[in-house]
Amino acid sequence: MSAINQSAFVLQLTDKQLSQLTAASLNIAPAWPLDQMIAVNPLWQMRDQPIEQVSARVSALNNIHYLMPQQYYAERYAQGEINPAALRLAAKQQQSALSVVELVDYLDQPISAAHWHNIADLLDAQREQHKMTWRDEIVHQISQFCAAYYQNKSHQSASSIDINQQVKASSLYSHWLEITRYDKGLSILMDEPGLNQWFAQLPQEPELLLAQALDELHITDELVEPYAHALLLDINGWASWIAYLRWQGELYSTPNNDMLQLIAIRMAWELVIWRYVKAQQHHRFTALAAAWLTEKNQLPHLIRQHEQINKPLWVWAKAAELSYQNCLNTQLVSADKQTVTTAKLQAAFCIDVRSEVIRRALEAQSNDIQTIGFAGFFGLPIEYQPKGRTLARPQLPGLLKPIIRVSQIADTPVQTINTKARWQAWTQSAPAAFSMVESMGWLYAFNLLKKSFFASGCAHPINRLTHQTHWHLEKESQPLSVSDKAQLAQGILLAMGLTEFATTVLLVGHGSHTTNNLHAAGLDCGACGGQTGEVNVRVLAQLLNDVEVRVELERLGIQLPTTTRFVAALHNTTTDRIECFASELESEVVLWLQGATALAQRERIVNIAPQMQKRSAQALDKFYQKLSRDWSEVRPEWGLANNAAFIVAPRSWTRNIDLKGRCFLHDYQWQNDQKFALLTLIITAPMIVTHWINMQYNASVADNHKYGSGNKLLHNAVAGHIGVFEGNGGDLRIGLPMQSVHDGKKWMHQPQRLSVYVAAPRQAIEQIVAKHDNVRWLVDNEWLYLLRWADDAVIERYYQGRWQVQEVNTHESLY
């Protein structure tokens, strides 16, 4: 054994090996913590490659599915949701020679492809059934260690630094090695005598461990990257958390190298069990070595095999997308455009798909109402700091870094909030179900009964702090001047396209109201960093109502009428009520808002509780209120499920179309956009966010085991906010719970790539795509569809530098 250590000591990672390991580590997308949960494309880091290749890669390396099973497409075809014309067109675009008949027959054929197996997997194939599997135990052990490690890190950072700052990189690997060496129970648990001593021989430095493992396992340079990627996919949840730390580190210039150390930890397990079996189970090692050689030899070919096998399935996926596009195209080109010339009420909403329903309901109240779609953080690059606190939370998309800090001027009782926060954190911890009942006895039992039969509202304790009227804004610890505020307001008004102003202008943020929901932030505003939009709309209303700011705005060329008042409001997406933060509103406006709530509630009840469709408006409202307070409710709302398109165009073009709550709507008038600066911003920011949302829902449906978080009834919070375990162990779960995408009988989200419609000149779109890599990759690698909606009712797709007119088939039934 000492000979092994001495010979391995001189090994060093080569530049090529380090480069390949780094490349593998960069394949993992970040997953935001529960209290700042935003949707992310779990394959985002590989967007520079065609989506079909990336899908084949994760399928080959870890048996991960991005495409739906054959039965799903067969059912949609039988129901007429995929039509033969779309199927033929999809086959043509996918360069498939299969006919419609052959493609239909394919859905009944069994398809399978071998996928990569790590050493742990190969040993499990030989392992007695009564023994714990190596894969499960390795994942469990690493996951439990990471939970404890990052919980301690989180507590340290919360007490010493800003919540938005990155915790300095620490020795993740060396700490794991120290803990594992002292874990004498591993040998007993795995029923493998002497296993523990092999951890004692591992080097202290992760680089040396990686060099040893790659050498002893005979991993050639061309296999380093896919092998390391496969290992990370085994523990994808924690890899995603570390990718988040890396993301934040890059955002705040505090580098983090934990991902390489995580690879070292996972590879250390491979090396330990390899050495253990080689030394103590000679008969098994011979079979293991042969199987391992076969795995390595076939790895370069696996991804290509998965690509070929899934080609017909991609035809079906595209056919489903083209069928939806055809239906939407027909609506768009045939719609009657309606412009509101003199509005009595203007209301700006987030582009969130749930806003499409409430906007349509509000517009139905009067032709004098104008609604506007704009990014939910309302262009404010802010973070919110509760008064008297050192911590701050971002109120803007995860792609961006806040540059302005806001805090309320009014005093807030702090001790009560602290107590509530500590209580909430305790109730969300993994052992809470046992320790709280044992510790609190009948008191906690009474609370459980009260929540079950006498449910009441339950706001997040931090959100209670935001209900203030007066706000302080500062940048780099200096208060914003009137000039600074005016320039900020000017940019926002121009971006919103507001040139004429009604007497009342509602600035409507949004947030969900649910109880006992660890994923509650995922139902709030993604544009506001997984928070409600309340802070943003309150701050913006204060800016735009400020007399001094208005005077300065007039010097900048924007004149706000003295009769115009901006009112902050919040759309509760669970109940569809709109709460206005103003002492008085015109009675007509109040009636309009109430009417909009009633209409939206009735429209959504079909998917929430169809048995109540014929009930009165009062009964429906009461039902929704109860739903938002029910701590046992696993489906309080459907969030952004079934999102499918992002439309960047004047609202007048879509006002008379029922888009079924499936479209993100961003108002845009290209004639008013000098040098297309606003269009550039929309395509490089909101479009990315909507793509992330779309892909998170798609992935959570297609493979809920890897990219979803499973059964929310079994969830336990990890460190209060990092993420969830399903049960008390296994990998950290990311993505959406099954209950967020499935109603128990059918999928509530149809996985399909986002269709982006932009009403702008060809040249402007071409230039933006060419200038920005992220956009070009998404378009040319088919992560989404970029379509142009022209003034002459022509719709055409931009793909790999060419325009393709989309045929609108109004003769075949699609739905």
Q: Confirm if 737 and 731 have CB atoms less than 8 A apart.
A: no
CA distance 310 to 56: 8
Q: Are 210 and 16 in contact (CB under 8 A)?
A: no
3-state class (DSSP) for residue 664: strand
Token readout for 25 is 């580590």
Phi first, then psi, for residue 660 (nearest 5°) are 60, 25
CA distance 310 to 634: 34
Residue 579 three-state SS: strand
| Cβ-based burial of 607 (10 A; exposed 0-12, middle 13-18, buried ≥19) | middle
Q: Rounded distance, CA 57 to CA 62, Å? A: 8
| 443 phi and psi angles, rounded to 5 deg | -60, -45
CB atoms within 10 A of CB 150: 24
Residues making up the annotated binding site are 350, 352, 510, 525
Residue that the structure tokens 């970029």 belong to: 786
For residues 66 and 707, the answer to whether their CB atoms sit within 8 Å is no
529 burial (CB, 10 Å; 0-12 / 13-18 / 19+) is buried
Give binding residues for Zn(2+) as ranges. Answer: 350, 352, 510, 525
3-state secondary structure of 750: coil
d(CA 359, CA 535): 21
Q: CA 657, CA 661: separation in Å to the nearest integer?
A: 11
What 3-state class would DSSP assign to 706? Answer: helix
> How would you label 495-519 residue by residue, b for 16+ Cβ within 10 Å and e otherwise?
bbbbeebbebbbbbbbbbbbbbbbb
Q: What is the DSSP letter of 168?
A: P
Instruction: State the Cα–Cα distance between residues 368 and 404, nearest whole angstrom.
Output: 36
Q: What is the DSSP letter of 747?
A: B
